[in-house]
C-alpha cells in the first residue's frame, strides 16, 4: 500500500460522521437523564453540594490542586467582585522527571501520597499562615458532604495502593496532622471541573458548565432538579471521561487494552492529554510495521506513553522545532522522519485532534440541551489541551456553531481554575456546618 493511501485509510478511521456525532449528543443527554434517575450509565451525576459562585466570596485560603500530573499549593486572596490574587504558589510533579521519586505507582501507599501533599501545604503555610483550606481533587469521588468524599477509583494511569473506597478527608487531614497542621480546616473537597465552574462563575454569572481537558477529561454542569441545602441548583460532576457510547477504531482498542483500566474512561482515552500522544505513537508503530514510514535507529517508540500530546500540536504547526507547549521541546522528537513522512503524520494528527474536538463539542451540545432554559450560556474550560493544543478551541466553537441554530454557548478560558475554584469553594462554605 502506498503512503498516501495508508494516510487516508487511517484518517478515515479517526473520522466520525455528522449523523453519528448527533447520535452521540442524544445518547449523552439520555445518559444524563438515566443517571439522574439512578439508572446504570457510563456517566455519573455526582453532587458537589455547591451552587454557582456569587462573585462576592472573600477571604484568604490555602488551595490545593491535586491534579493528574502535578500537585500545587497556593495562597489565594479572594477580593470579591470576581477579583483574586495569588499570593504564593508552589508546584511539584507527582513523578519527578529525574526519577528521584514517583507517587503515581502502586509502590506508593495512601499515607505516602497524602504526606507529599501535606508537606507542600506546610511550605506555604509556614510562609503565610491561613487556617482555611480547599482541595481540588481530580479523580472520581463520591461526595458525602461538601468537605468529605470517598475515592471511587483512580484514572489517568495513577495507582497508589490502599486508597480506593477511603475518605479523602480522613487521608488528607491525617497527613496534615502528621505535619503538625491539625488546626487547618479542610472546608471543601471538589472535582477540578467544579473548581473550573466556580472560578469562572466567580467572574461571570452565565456559567452553566465547567470542563477540563488536560491529562484527563471531564465536565460538570448546573442541574436545577438537584438542589443544595440553600435550595440553589447543584453543580453536578458527570465524570464525562467515562462516557462509553462512542465508536472506537483499531488504535483506540489497542490503547484501551494496554491501559491500567481497560473498558473504562473511553471518551477520555480519545480526547485527553494523557492519551492523544499515545494514539499517535500507536499509529506510528503501525506505519513502521507496515513498512510505510522508516523506523528509528533506537527503541524510542517502544515504551508506552513515550510521546506526549504536544507532538500533535507540533506536527500540525508544520514547523518542526517550534516550541508549542512551554517547557516541552518536541523539536528533538522523530528526527529520523522524512518531509513526506511528516506530511503524512500531519494529516493523521489533524484527524485525531479534529475527532477529539467534535466529540467534546457534541457532549457540550448535549449539556446545552439539558440547560436549555438558561440565557447566554457559558461553558468554562481549563486544562493543557484546551489551553495549548493549536486549533482545539476554535474547532469546538465552529462545530458548536454549525450544529446549533441560536444562542450558542460561549467558551470561557479559565486558567488557574483549580486553585481559584478551591478557594471559592472554601469561601462559600458556611462555618456552622462544622
Position among 223, 268, 278, 310 found at the interface with ligand BGC (CB under 6 A): 268
Give me the least distance between CB of 408 and ligand BGC, in Å please: 24
DSSP tag of 102: B
Give me the least distance between CB of 69 and ligand BGC, in Å please: 10
Closer CB to ligand BGC, 82 or 134, in the complex: 134
* Number of C-beta neighbours around residue 340 at 10 A: 11
Whole-angstrom distance, CA of residue 427 vs CA of residue 75? 13
192 is a contact residue toward ligand BGC (CB under 6 A): yes
193 is a contact residue toward ligand BGC (CB under 6 A): yes
CB 269 within 8 A of CB 243: no
Position among 175, 204, 212, 271 found at the interface with ligand BGC (CB under 6 A): 212
Place of cell 494511569: 157
246 is a contact residue toward ligand BGC (CB under 6 A): no
Closer CB to ligand BGC, 189 or 292, in the complex: 189
414 is a contact residue toward ligand BGC (CB under 6 A): no
H or E segment to which residue 62 belongs = strand 58-66
216 is a contact residue toward ligand BGC (CB under 6 A): yes
241 is a contact residue toward ligand BGC (CB under 6 A): yes
47 is a contact residue toward ligand BGC (CB under 6 A): no
- DSSP assignment of 302-357, as one string? TSTT-S-THHHHHHHHT-TT---STT--GGGSSTT--HHHHHHHHHHHHHHHHHHH
H or E segment to which residue 47 belongs = strand 46-47
417 is a contact residue toward ligand BGC (CB under 6 A): no
134 is a contact residue toward ligand BGC (CB under 6 A): no
Give me the least distance between CB of 64 and ligand BGC, in Å please: 14
Closer CB to ligand BGC, 349 or 418, in the complex: 418
Side by side, the strands of the sheet bearing 70-80 are 83-93, 70-80, 58-66, 132-137, 185-190
* 181-189, 214-222, 224-232, 284-292 -> range binding ligand BGC (CB under 6 A): 214-222
* 31-39, 77-85, 216-224, 371-379 -> range binding ligand BGC (CB under 6 A): 216-224
Q: How many residues bind ligand BGC (CB under 6 A)?
A: 17
Alpha helices in 191-338, H assignment, sequence order: 192-201, 250-258, 268-271, 273-289, 310-317
160 is a contact residue toward ligand BGC (CB under 6 A): no
**Residue 255 vs residues 12, 105, 259, 403: alpha-carbon distances, Å:** 18, 19, 6, 30
- Grid coordinates in use for 407? 444562542
211 is a contact residue toward ligand BGC (CB under 6 A): no
* 31-39, 208-216, 277-285, 419-427 -> range binding ligand BGC (CB under 6 A): 208-216
Closer CB to ligand BGC, 115 or 191, in the complex: 191
- Residues composing the chain: 434
Closer CB to ligand BGC, 82 or 214, in the complex: 214
Show Cβ contacts of residue 381 under 8 Å, excluding neighbours closer than 6 positions.
Answer: 196, 210, 211, 212, 213, 393, 411, 412, 413, 414
* 133-141, 247-255, 356-364, 425-433 -> range binding ligand BGC (CB under 6 A): 133-141
191 is a contact residue toward ligand BGC (CB under 6 A): yes
B/e letters for 377-399, b = 16+ CB within 10 Å, e = fewer, are bbbbbbbbbbbbbeebbebbbeb
- Grid coordinates in use for 343? 506530511
Closer CB to ligand BGC, 193 or 330, in the complex: 193
* 24-32, 132-140, 171-179, 246-254 -> range binding ligand BGC (CB under 6 A): 132-140
Give, in degrees to the nearest 5, the angle at Cα 391 between 388 and 392: 70
277 is a contact residue toward ligand BGC (CB under 6 A): no
218 is a contact residue toward ligand BGC (CB under 6 A): yes
Q: What residues are paired with 90 via a beta bridge?
A: 73
Give me the least distance between CB of 237 and ligand BGC, in Å please: 7
- Grid coordinates in use for 335? 528526527
72 is a contact residue toward ligand BGC (CB under 6 A): no
138 is a contact residue toward ligand BGC (CB under 6 A): yes
Position among 140, 277, 417, 421 found at the interface with ligand BGC (CB under 6 A): 140
Residue 401, Cβ density class (10 Å: 0-12 exposed, 13-18 middle, ≥19 buried): exposed
139 is a contact residue toward ligand BGC (CB under 6 A): yes
Taking CB positions, which residue lies at the least distance from ligand BGC? 216
Where along the sequence are the contacts to ligand BGC (CB under 6 A)? 68, 138-140, 155-156, 191-193, 212, 214, 216-218, 239, 241, 268
Amino acid at each position: 500500500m502506498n503512503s498516501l493511501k495508508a494516510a487516508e485509510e487511517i484518517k478515515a478511521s479517526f473520522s466520525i460522521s455528522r449523523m453519528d456525532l448527533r447520535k452521540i449528543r442524544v445518547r449523552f443527554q439520555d445518559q444524563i437523564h438515566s443517571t439522574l434517575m439512578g439508572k446504570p450509565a457510563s456517566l455519573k451525576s455526582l453532587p458537589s453540594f455547591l451552587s454557582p459562585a456569587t462573585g462576592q466570596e472573600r477571604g484568604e485560603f490555602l488551595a490545593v490542586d491535586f491534579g493528574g500530573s502535578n500537585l500545587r499549593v497556593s495562597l489565594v486572596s479572594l477580593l470579591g467582585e470576581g477579583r483574586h490574587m495569588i499570593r504564593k504558589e508552589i508546584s511539584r510533579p507527582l513523578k519527578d522527571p529525574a526519577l528521584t521519586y514517583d507517587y503515581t505507582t502502586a509502590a506508593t501507599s495512601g499515607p505516602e501520597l497524602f504526606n507529599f501533599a501535606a508537606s507542600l501545604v506546610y511550605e506555604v503555610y509556614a510562609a503565610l499562615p491561613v487556617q482555611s483550606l480547599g482541595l481540588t481533587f481530580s479523580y472520581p469521588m463520591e461526595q458525602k458532604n461538601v468537605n468529605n468524599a470517598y475515592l471511587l477509583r483512580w484514572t489517568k494511569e495513577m495507582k497508589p495502593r490502599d486508597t480506593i473506597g477511603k475518605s479523602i478527608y480522613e487521608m488528607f487531614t491525617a497527613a496534615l496532622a502528621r505535619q503538625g497542621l491539625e488546626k487547618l480546616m479542610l472546608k471543601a473537597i471538589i472535582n477540578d471541573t467544579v473548581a473550573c465552574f466556580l472560578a469562572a462563575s466567580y467572574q461571570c454569572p452565565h456559567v452553566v458548565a465547567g470542563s477540563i481537558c488536560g491529562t484527563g477529561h471531564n465536565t460538570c454542569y448546573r442541574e436545577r432538579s438537584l438542589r443544595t441545602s440553600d435550595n440553589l441548583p447543584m453543580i453536578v460532576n458527570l465524570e464525562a471521561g467515562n462516557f462509553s457510547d462512542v465508536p472506537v477504531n483499531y488504535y483506540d482498542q489497542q490503547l484501551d487494552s494496554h491501559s491500567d483500566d481497560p473498558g473504562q474512561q473511553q471518551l477520555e482515552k480519545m480526547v485527553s492529554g494523557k492519551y492523544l500522544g499515545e494514539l499517535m505513537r500507536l499509529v506510528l508503530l503501525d506505519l513502521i510495521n507496515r513498512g510505510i514510514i522508516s523506523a528509528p535507529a533506537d527503541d524510542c517508540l517502544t515504551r508506552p506513553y513515550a510521546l506526549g500530546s504536544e507532538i500533535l500540536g507540533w506536527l500540525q504547526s508544520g514547523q518542526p522545532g517550534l516550541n508549542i507547549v512551554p517547557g516541552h521541546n518536541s523539536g528533538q522528537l522523530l528526527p529520523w522522519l522524512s518531509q513526506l513522512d511528516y506530511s503524512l503524520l500531519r494529516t493523521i494528527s489533524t484527524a485525531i485532534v479534529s475527532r477529539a474536538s467534535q466529540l467534546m463539542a457534541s457532549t457540550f451540545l448535549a449539556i446545552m440541551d439539558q440547560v436549555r432554559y438558561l440565557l447566554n450560556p457559558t461553558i468554562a474550560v481549563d486544562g493543557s489541551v484546551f489551553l495549548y493544543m493549536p486549533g482545539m478551541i476554535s474547532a469546538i466553537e465552529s462545530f458548536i456553531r454549525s450544529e446549533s441554530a441560536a444562542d450558542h454557548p460561549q467558551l470561557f478560558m479559565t486558567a488557574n481554575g483549580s486553585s481559584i475554584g478551591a478557594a471559592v469553594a472554601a469561601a462559600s462554605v458556611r462555618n456552622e456546618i462544622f
